[in-house]
Amino acid sequence: MNSLRLRPWRLWLLVATTAPAWAGTLTTSFLTPSQYSATLGDSVMLRWNAGAAKDAQPVAWPSGEVNWLFIRGGGEQENRHDVRPQHASDNFITLKIEQPAVTLVGAERPVVREVTGAELRTFLEQNVAGDTTAPDANRLAADRKYRVRDIASAKTLIRVPTADGQTVPSAIATSKTGLAGEIRPQFDPTAAPVGSDLPLTIYVNGDKRPDAKIQATNVATGKTTTMIADPSGSTHFRVTDTGVWRVEFHWAQPLQNDPAADWVVYNATLTFEVTKGGAQ
């Protein structure tokens, strides 16, 4: 593995602005492992799930679009670029769990999409805090096509329990990664018991993002908690249930004098599993 390092910011921007336009709708993407709890040496399949958090489903692996994927654990990080499945027909890649405690996997997928003003406005109304985009969204022409630089930044946490089954908090889970959009937990979510509050900090291009709209969904119950980040880019939500959680935030702005896109939308997600009940 390579030594732990963050990737230069300009790499994702270069790929995003040179990627060919891709006709498709704006959606939310989650990195989803075949198992959230593993033992050392396990091979885990990693897929992209897309759609609303409560029922997002596996989709074809976006070959040619995942320009950066990293696997972080034990103070080391492996970086992969232009990530594709071993076989073209596969919708997954395989990674080996080689470090104890928590393995953090992250990926970035910048694509220029062409959508109508009506589609973009609907997406913004559903996913972005209203005060931040309302004036610009109201000026969107419903039938006009807009080029949107859609930057999907996704993370997932895979836990390796100790020999006696304990989940000791790991600093890997709370580390900053350098993704363009990032949800950074301030406590290891895989060690959070039901009933606890999980604090989060939200970033766009490395800067804390106040007023971001964050949604946390428990997949088993389908219940979503919605929060707005405070002036320091922070918020928290109550861990109400065990099971898989999908957390997301979206932030957008119109672009000026950009030859490749009219808008940029940041779609950041985090997935993990809570296994600890409230009574400890």
Q: What are the structural domain ranges in the chain?
A: 2-273
pTM: 0.90
Q: For residue 217, what are its two tokens? A: 């969904």
Amino acid identity of residue 260, one-letter, is: A
pLDDT digits (tens, 9 = 90+) for 179-232: 999 999 999 999 999 999 999 999 999 999 999 999 999 999 999 999 999 999
- Phi, psi values for residue 147, rounded to 5°: -90, 120
Whose CA is closest to 205, among 182, 184, 235, 233?
A: 182
Per-residue confidence at 132, pLDDT binned at 50, 70, 90? confident
Distance CA 208, CA 229 (A): 9
Distance CA 139, CA 264 (A): 16
Distance CA 52, CA 29 (A): 9
Burial (CB count within 10 angstroms: exposed 0-12, middle 13-18, buried 19+), residue 241 = middle
